[in-house]
Structures are given as structure tokens and as C-alpha cells.
Structure 1
Amino acid sequence: MRPKLTDVATKAGVSATTVSRVINNYGYLSQQTKDKVFQAMRELNYQPNSLARSLHGKKTLLIGVIFPSISNPFFAELVERIENKLFNQNYKIILCNSADNKEKERDYLRMLIANQVDGIIAGTHNLGIDEYNKVGLPIVSFDRRLSDKIPIVSSDNLRGTALATKEIYQAGARHIYFLGNPHQIGNPTDLRLQGYQQTIAKLKLTPHIHAVAFSESPTLKSLSIKKLLTQHHADGIVCTDDLTAILVLQAARNLKIAVPQELKVVGFDGTAFIQEYHPELSTIVQPIDDIASLLVNILIERIDHAEQPLEQMQYILPVKLLRSQSTFYLDE
């Protein structure tokens, strides 16, 4: 049976009110009393109720973290960094995988509010959820415009695809395709398409956009990529994420298209996983550790100083190109 506060009080030889005061650090108590209560809590493996703490006006030290899926290496690494940084500041996380399901995300938001989390970090791909305007909690967003009142942290998406397009051009490609979501809905990631389009215009080339949705399965993406490579004369492809870029490399290999001689490919994300297991891929590297630090620091600042007005609504971090075998043949 789960131990109760009264069990701690009995074991420590104090009143239940004293145990509550120790847990909530309320009023003066001798160190001897505190030590007895903490020792009883350890022996009984008693965990204070976060909701009960919130009713006393205390922080729950819980943060809700909402992302589409941690099966994606980028989100997995980002969530890991966020969790580590929050843990180092005595916070724990409640992780919610929202996928592309609005109702699921709404349910998670309601659950986080019910659990009285101190704040939320959201990197969701679902848009048009009005609840974000009504949560009444400090929220920071990664790469998504959830509300006019929620600050956004992102990497330099515009410069990222500009660098990728230039890299492919300098490698000799002239029929450069953009492989990603062509829909512009006001998010920072929309700038990836704009970075490609602006660079193509400067190079006086013809833009080619091949639509692939982030939520599509690898099988559907592979079919679409195969169609692109067999029915169009693409000698360069700018991908909006590394997993899609790897599918392009696989399709090219199956179709006997030589990379980088006949086809140049650049991805986007540059996670440690990709760099270790697919070092052949040229990619745009997002500063994952810096993104996590900024998300956590902004959120904690909002938690600690909720009454202060936001000084900045958008934070953009620099990216860099990691050149490898998918754009230039590099000697070992």
C-alpha cells in the first residue's frame, strides 16, 4: 500500500501538520525535526503529492513537454537535453507524444493542467488549438507559432536551406529540388522553403518543389521519392529533415543513381545519431543543446517572474553546414 502523510508522521513521532510544514518548507522548524521527517520519508519511500503542494501555493516542480514523437532522432535528442537541463534545476518532466492528433494534444493539455505543472515546453505539429491561449501557464514553443502570447525558439531555418541549396549548386547541380512541405502556415519551419526559393532565384535557376508531408510514413515517402527520381531530372535535392534525406540516398542506391556524381543530397537536423550512423550525409546541423538551454531558461524565467512582460517573442539560433559524401566526394 502506498504510504500516506500520516504514516510519515507516526514513524517520525510528529504531527501530520509538522510533516506538511517540512515538505512545504513553511515556518520555523528545528533541523532535528526536519531530519526525523526526511528520514521517515526515505524509509517509507514516501513521495509528496505534487497537487497537494500546488494547493499550498508551492511549485510542483513538474514541467509538461509536448512533442510529436520521440521516435524521430531530432526530437529524441532535444527532449533528452531538455530533461537533463530541467533535472539539473530540480524539475521533472511529464512527456506527451502528440503525433498529428489534435484531440490527443488537447487531452494532454487538460491532463497537464490537472496535474498543476509549473510550465510547458511545446514542439507540437498540431496547429489551431485554442487551448494554448487559455492554459494560463508559462509556455515556450519550439519552431511553432501556437499563440501570439507564447515565445518561440527556433534555429535559422531560412539560412539553413540557403546554405544547403548553395552547397548543392557549388557541387555542380543545376536541377535542384526541394523535398518537403510546400504549405506556408506561418511557422518558423516555413522559412526552409523560402530559403530554398530565395537562393534558387539568386542563382537564376528554376525552382522545383516536390511535396512530402512530415507525417507520411517512410514507405509512402519512399514511393514518392522513387517517382521523383524516375520521372524528373533531379541532380540535387534539398531535404527538410535528415530521415527523408536518408530515404533519398536509399532510393538512389536502389535505382543505381550514383551519389554524389549524379545526385547531390543535403539533409536538415544533424543529430548525433545521424552523424554517427550516416556520416555520408551532408546536412544542416541545428544547435540542439543551445535550443534546449534556451527553451529551459526562458520557461524558468517565466515561472519565476510571471508578472514581468516578455521582452522578446522570437529567438533564432545559428545553424551550420556539415559537408560529407552526399554532396562532394571526399578522400578518406
Structure 2
Amino acid sequence: MAVTIKDVAEKVGVSVTTVSRVLNNRGYLSESLKQKVNDAMEELNYHPSEVARSLLRKKSNIIGLILPDISHPFFGEVTKHIEAYAYEQGYKLMLCNSLHHKKKEKEYIDLLRASRVDGIIMGSHTMSVNDYKSINLPLVSLDRQISKSIPFIASDNYQGGVLATRLLLRKKCRSIAYLSGNLRLNLLAKQRHDAFLEQVRGQDVEYTVRQTDLNGFKYKDYEKLVSSLFEERPELDGVFASSDMLALQVLKQCRRLGRAVPGQVKVIGYDGIAALDAEDLTTIVQPIKKMGELAVQYLLQQIAGEPVPLETILPVRLSEKGTT
């Protein structure tokens, strides 16, 4: 039978209300009484319900995080920083993986609300704007702009596209491909594509754009995409990939074809994922740690009733390494 707060109270010889006050640190209580209650809980192996405690405190010190796919290294890395910073601030994290499924995302939002989280960081965006506005919780969007009334944090996607494309042009590439996530999705990352087109148009270069399907995290399909690109454009000498994972597949295909990098093909990725440092990949580095920490900071400010900026665009930088 599960141990209850009443069992703890009887063990110590106090009321249930007193034990509840100890659990929630409310009112004056002697240190000796607190110790007796804590000793009894440990002896009885009693674990108070976080939901019940949050009802009393009107605050759970838990935040929700909804991402499209935690297996993607960018989201894995940003989650690490969000969790670490939230924990420093006295908050724990509930992580949800939407996999771009609208029904799943809605179910997770309902779960987070039922769990009485204090706020939600959204890294996924499959529902309507009104659906998000009806959540009625502090909300911050990460790497997505849901609406002009919901605060969002992103890196400068357009400038990243400019930096990458200009580097390929400076390196005298004359047949350049841009590999992208699906451009039908309303994502800020599409600005990388827009910047690429603006930079190559009017230049003495051939260029092509290839994109993934709507589920942009089917990594096995990356191989097909890149393989068909080189079959159709064997003269390619420059590739700007909109993610480091796509760029990694380009490097693998070049090795299969015996195309020297950077001698015959120059490759640039996007994200600056720390785990891929060994690939010596030239990439556009997003400030992933800063993005994660600001998402938590802005959410906590909202929880405290403080105003936050509606739009935060952080600078990116070009990290030139061995692939260019």
C-alpha cells in the first residue's frame, strides 16, 4: 500500500497540515520539527506528489519543452542548455517530442497543462496561431515565429545564408547547390534560402536548390537526396547545406564518388553542432547555448509578470575549416 502524508503525520505525532507546511516551507516551523518530518518521510519512503504540491504553491517550478525531434543534434544540444540553465534557476524540465504531428503536439500541450507546468518553450509549430494563444500559459517560441504576439528567439538566418553563399563565391565555385529543409514549412530557416538566391542571382554561376520532404528529419532520405543531386549535377563544385547533418551526408557522398573536398567540392553546413567538430566542417555557427538560456530567461520573466522582447535575433558567425 502506498505511503500517504497521513502516515508521515502519525509517525511524527503531528497533524497532516503541519507536514504539509513542512513540505511547502510555509509559516514558522522549528528546525527540529522539519528534521523529524524529513526523517519520517525517508524512513517510510514517502514521496510527495509534485502536482499536489504545485496546487498548494500555485507554482510547480516545472517548464515544458516541445521539440520536433530530439534525435536531431541541434535540438539535442539546445535541450542540454535549456535543462542546465532551468535547473540552475530552480526549475525542472518536461520534454515532449512532437515529430511534426499536429495531434501529438496538441496532446502534449494538454498533458503539460494538466501537469500544471509554469510555462512552455515551443520548438515545434504544427498548430494554428489561435491554438497557441489559447494555451493561456507563459510561452516562448524557439527558432520559430508563431505570431507577432508570442515572444520568439532565433539566430540571424538571413545573415547566415549571406555569409555561407559569399564564401563559396569567393572560393570561385561556379556550380553551387543549396540543400534545404522543406521550403513549404513556415520556418525562419527559409531565410537562409532567400539569402542564397539573392547572392547567386546576377553572378556568373549555375545554381540549384534541393529540399527534403515535409518530414525533414528522415535521415535515411538525406542519402537519396544528395546522391540524386550529384547524379544530375556532376559538375557541382560548391554546396551550401542548411544543416550540418545535410552537409555531413554531402561529405559522405563525395567520399563515395572520389570527389576531393575541398579541392573539387567545397562544402558549408549550418548550425555549428559541437559533436561534429571532428568532421572539420566549415559551418555557420548558431549561438545554441545563448538561444537556450534566453528561452528559459524570457519564460521565467513572463512567469514573474515581467515584460520580454517579442523578437530576439542573435548573430551567427562563419567558422571556416577544412571543407572549404
For residue 215 of structure 1, report the CA deviation from its aligned partner: 2.2
Q: Does the alignment pair 1:321 with 2:322? A: no
How far apart are 1:312 and its partner, in Å?
1.7
- The farther-off stretch of 127-136 and 115-124 is 127-136
Aligned to 2:270: 268
More displaced 10-residue stretch of structure 1: 110-119 or 158-167: 158-167
Structure 1 position 69, deviation (Å): 1.8
Correspondence 1:202-281 to 2 at 5 A: 203=203, 205-213=205-213, 215-232=216-233, 233-275=235-277, 277-278=278-279, 280-281=280-281
The 2-side partners of 1:265 and 1:125 are apart by 30
CA 284–2 in structure 1, closer or farther in 2 if over 3 Å, else same: farther
How far off its partner does 1:25 sit?
A: 2.6
1:58-97 correspondence runs (5 A): 58-97=58-97
Q: Give the count of matched residue pairs.
A: 322
**2:298 touches 2:308 (CA, 8 Å); kept in 1?**
no
Inter-partner Cα distance in structure 2 for 1:125 and 1:231: 34
Give the letter aligned to residue 282 of structure 2.
S
Distance in 1, matches of 2:154 and 2:281, equals 23
Distance in 2 between residues matched to 1:116 and 1:242, nearest whole Å: 36
* Residue 32 (str. 1) matches residue 23 (str. 2): no
- Is the deviation greater in 113-122 or in 48-57? 48-57
Do the aligned partners of residues 45 and 289 (structure 1) sit closer, same or farther apart at CA in structure 2, a change above 3 Å counting? Answer: farther
TM score, norm. by length of structure 1: 0.90
1:84-163 matches, within 5 Å, as 84-128=84-128, 130-163=130-163
> In the alignment, which residue of structure 2 is the partner of 1:330?
none
Q: Report the more deviating stretch, 28-37 or 106-115.
A: 28-37
CA offsets per residue over residues 25-49 of structure 1, 9 Å max, x none? 3333333322322332333343332
Q: Distance in 1 between matches of 2:81 and 2:295?
A: 10
Taking the aligned partners of 2:127 and 2:310, their CA distance within structure 1 comes to 18
- Per mean C-alpha deviation after superposition, the further-off stretch among 113-122 and 67-76 is 67-76
Q: Measured at CA, do residues 105 and 129 of structure 1 come closer, stay the same or move farther in structure 2, by a change above 3 Å?
A: farther
Provide structure 2 residue ranges, at least 5 long, that are not aligned to the other structure: none
Q: 1:317 to 1:43 in 2, by over 3 A?
A: farther
Stretches of structure 1 that go unaligned for 5 or more consecutive residues are 328-332
Report the Cα distance in structure 2 between the residues aligned to 1:45 and 1:270, rounded to whole angstroms: 45
Amino acid of the structure 1 residue aligned with 2:265: L
Q: Give the secondary structure class of the aligned counterpart of 2:262.
A: coil
Q: Is the 8 A contact 2:182 2:216 kept in 1?
A: no
Question: What SS is found at the alignment partner of 2:223?
Answer: helix
Q: Which moved more, 1:92-101 or 1:169-178?
A: 169-178
Q: Deviations over 1:147-198 (max 9, x none)?
A: 4332111111111121111121222212221110362554321211122122
Matched to 1:241, the amino acid is S
Q: CA separation in 1, counterparts of 2:250 and 2:127? A: 28
The within-5 A match list for 1:187-202 is 187-201=187-201
1:287 aligns with 2:287: yes
143-152 vs 88-97, which moves further? 143-152
Quick one: which amino acid aligns to residue 163 of structure 2? Answer: L
Partners of 1:66 and 1:97 within 8 A in 2: yes
CA distance in 2, matches of 1:132, 1:77: 25
Contact 2:284 2:316 in 1 (8 A): yes
Relative distance call for 1:31 and 1:273 in structure 2 (3 A) is same
How far apart, in 1, do the equivalents of 2:297 and 2:202 lie? 38
RMSD: 2.0
- Deviation string for 1:101-142 (max 9, x for gaps)? 111111111111111011111111534364311111111111
Rounded Cα–Cα distance in structure 2 between residues aligned with 1:200 and 1:47: 62
Deviation, structure 1 residue 15: 0.7
Q: Give the secondary structure class of the aligned counterpart of 2:201.
A: helix
- 61-70 vs 48-57, greater mean Cα deviation: 48-57
Alpha-carbon distance in structure 2 between the residues aligned to 1:82 and 1:223: 34
3-state DSSP of counterpart to 1:56: helix
CA distance in 1, matches of 2:79, 2:196: 28
For residues 42-91 of structure 1, the C-alpha deviation after alignment (integer angstroms, 9 at most, x for no partner) is 33343332222232243111111111222111111110111111111121
Q: 1:41 to 1:148 in 2, by over 3 A?
A: farther
Q: What residue in structure 2 maps to residue 296 of structure 1?
A: 296
